[in-house]
């Protein structure tokens, strides 16, 4: 590792020092938030929080439905005390909403909270809307969702996947959201953000329109302090905060996920997060999540698990993308840094090689510059890592696989 202070040991030391002050927040008095959930069969006490100015009281864990087509899993989640179901029109091309609609038939309308979302065509590289993104198009989307769900209204209707402030404030969609709310098709409107969250959250506050924000927030985000501050400002402004991607960016399948419950608790230690909507596909995973809703306080082993994982991930690029455009050779640095992480962090040479080969790199990489023009935000020697990882191009894939 290079000598300029980003050695593994140094990083571990500095990261762990940071944990004591920031990584773990002061323990909350959960007793104030405990409430008996209406669970069929037996009584359960879940921690409840209020979703900002919406006034909706929710258990701190609810269900992200996106990955399942199993109606009985959704049914059991509701019967077990979860209240909010989070879906989107894009999930299984509307069939996720349709499946939820079937489950909801016959249930009192005030016994559940439905949040769904839609997005319009945008430029994937800039995050900005294209000319196809019109108010009318967005208004049509909500009608399709209501039809899929078999409902007259949803509780929260999100403007989906925003990562630029300009998009958060995109007037045709803001107008559409106002109309949707006014027409009673959604009780509240919100926005979802998976990247560049602080900027988007601030824009949402500035808009004075959004009631709820669904945001990525997890212990492995390099910029979690900024996300945490933005969330605090939004909560202060009365916006309801729903967390997502709490478990390793959302994927329970990721090999680095060792302790999903601890990851959920890390998000819930922040009192400004009102609920989380983790996705689960098994009853076992659901029970893990329900146990967290009963007691979101950390155990010591859970804290240690998180510290360990966070320290390791801090040794690799976290995708701030500040390096984009800095390379004189126009190399895709974030992708190459990710390949480096696959190689040394996850020890997954197949993924690393696949990625390197997919980048169509020039034959000579980092060989023509005497001085690297890239300034990594955390001081990594980018050129050295790139020269190291591109060697994977010369390894037969059969050997690695």
Partner 1 sequence: MKTICLILGVIISLWAPRSEAKEFKFPEMIGWKQSGEIQTFIPKTLFEYINGAADLYIMYDFQELKVAEYQNEKKASITVEVYEHKTPTHAFGIYSQERLSNADFIDVGAQGYIENNTLNFLTGPYYVKMTSYHTGAEDCEILLTFVKKVSENLGTNGTLPAILSSFPEEGKKKNSEKFINRNFLGYSFLHSAFTADYELSGKKFKLFVIEGVGKNDCKDMIQKYLQQTKTSEKSPVEGRYTVADPYHGEIDLHWQGTYIWGTLSLNDSNLRSKYLKLLEVGLQKRK
How far apart are the C-alpha atoms of 37 and 48, rounded to whole Å?
A: 9
At closest approach, how far in Å is the CB of 205 from partner 1?
Answer: 22
Residues 6+ apart with CB under 8 A from 232: 272
Give alpha helix (H) positions in 269-315: 283-294, 300-313
- Name the residue nearer to partner 1 (CB basis): 16 or 90: 90
Query: C-beta of 338: minimal distance to partner 1 in Å?
Result: 6
How many residues are present in the chain? 401
Between helix 300-313 and helix 8-18 the angle, nearest 10°, is 140
Between 93 and 375, CB nearer to partner 1: 93
Choice between 148 and 269, CB closer to partner 1: 148
CA distance 267 to 48: 14
Query: Taking the complex as a whole, how short is the minimal distance between the CB of residue 391 and partner 1, in angstroms?
Result: 5
Nearer to partner 1 (CB atom), residue 35 or residue 393: 393
Angle at 306 between CA 230 and CA 76, to 5 degrees: 80
| Minimum CB–partner distance for residue 396 and partner 1 (Å) | 5
**Closest CB 72 distance from partner 1, rounded Å:** 5
Which residue, 286 or 293, is less far from partner 1 as judged by CB?
286
Q: Say how far apart CA 48 and CA 201 lie, in whole Å.
A: 23
Measuring CA to CA, which residue among 46, 112, 49 is closest to residue 85? 112
Tell the smallest beta-carbon distance from residue 34 to partner 1 (Å). 27
CA atoms of 258 and 152, how far apart (whole Å): 41
Place of tokens 């996850």: 346
Nearer to partner 1, 111 or 282 (CB): 282
What is the radius of gyration, based on Cα positions, of the chain? Answer: 22
Whichever of 68 and 269 has its CB closer to partner 1, that residue is 68
Q: How far apart are CA 379 and CA 99, in angstroms?
A: 48
Residue 135: alpha-carbon gap to chain centroid:
26
Interface ranges with partner 1 (CB under 8 A): 8, 64, 66-70, 72-73, 75-76, 88, 90-95, 121, 124-125, 130, 132, 160-161, 192, 194-195, 244, 249-251, 253, 279, 281-284, 286, 335, 338, 342-344, 347, 349, 351, 353-355, 357-359, 391-397, 399-400
Nearest distance in Å: CB 293, partner 1: 18
């Amino acid at each position: 590792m290079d000598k300029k202070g980003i050695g593994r040991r140094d990083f571990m030391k500095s990261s762990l020092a940071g944990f004591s002050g920031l990584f773990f927040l002061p323990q909350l008095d959960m007793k104030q938030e405990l409430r008996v959930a209406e669970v069929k069969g037996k009584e359960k006490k879940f921690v409840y929080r209020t979703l900002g100015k919406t006034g909706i009281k929710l258990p701190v864990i609810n269900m992200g439905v996106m990955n399942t087509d199993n109606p009985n899993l959704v049914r059991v989640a509701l019967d077990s005390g979860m209240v909010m179901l989070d879906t989107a029109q894009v999930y299984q091309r509307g069939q996720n909403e349709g499946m939820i609609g079937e489950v909801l038939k016959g249930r009192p309308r005030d016994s559940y909270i439905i949040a769904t979302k839609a997005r319009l065509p945008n430029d994937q590289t800039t995050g900005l809307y294209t000319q196809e993104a019109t108010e009318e198009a967005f208004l049509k989307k909500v009608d399709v969702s209501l039809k899929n769900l078999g409902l007259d209204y949803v509780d929260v209707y999100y403007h989906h996947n925003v990562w630029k402030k300009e998009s958060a404030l995109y007037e045709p969609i803001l107008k559409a959201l106002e109309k949707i709310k006014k027409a009673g098709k959604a009780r509240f409107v919100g926005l979802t953000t998976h990247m560049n969250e602080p900027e988007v959250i601030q824009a949402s506050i500035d808009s004075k329109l959004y009631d709820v924000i669904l945001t990525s927030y997890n212990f492995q985000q390099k910029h979690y302090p900024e996300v945490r501050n933005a969330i605090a400002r939004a909560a202060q402004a009365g916006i309801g905060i729903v967390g997502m991607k709490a478990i390793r960016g959302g994927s329970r399948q990721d090999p680095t996920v060792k302790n999903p419950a601890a990851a959920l608790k890390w998000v819930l230690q922040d009192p400004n997060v009102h609920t989380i909507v983790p996705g689960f596909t098994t009853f076992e995973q659901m029970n893990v999540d329900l146990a967290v809703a009963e007691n979101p306080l950390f155990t010591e082993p859970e804290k240690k698990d998180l510290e360990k994982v966070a320290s390791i991930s801090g040794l690799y690029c976290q995708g701030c993308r500040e390096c984009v455009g800095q390379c004189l050779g126009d190399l895709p640095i974030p992708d190459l840094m990710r390949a480096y992480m696959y190689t040394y962090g996850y020890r997954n040479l197949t993924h690393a090689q696949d990625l390197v080969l997919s980048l169509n790199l020039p034959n000579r990489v980092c060989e023509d510059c005497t001085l690297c023009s890239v300034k990594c935000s955390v001081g990594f020697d980018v050129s050295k890592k790139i020269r190291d990882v591109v060697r994977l191009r010369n390894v037969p894939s059969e050997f690695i696989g």
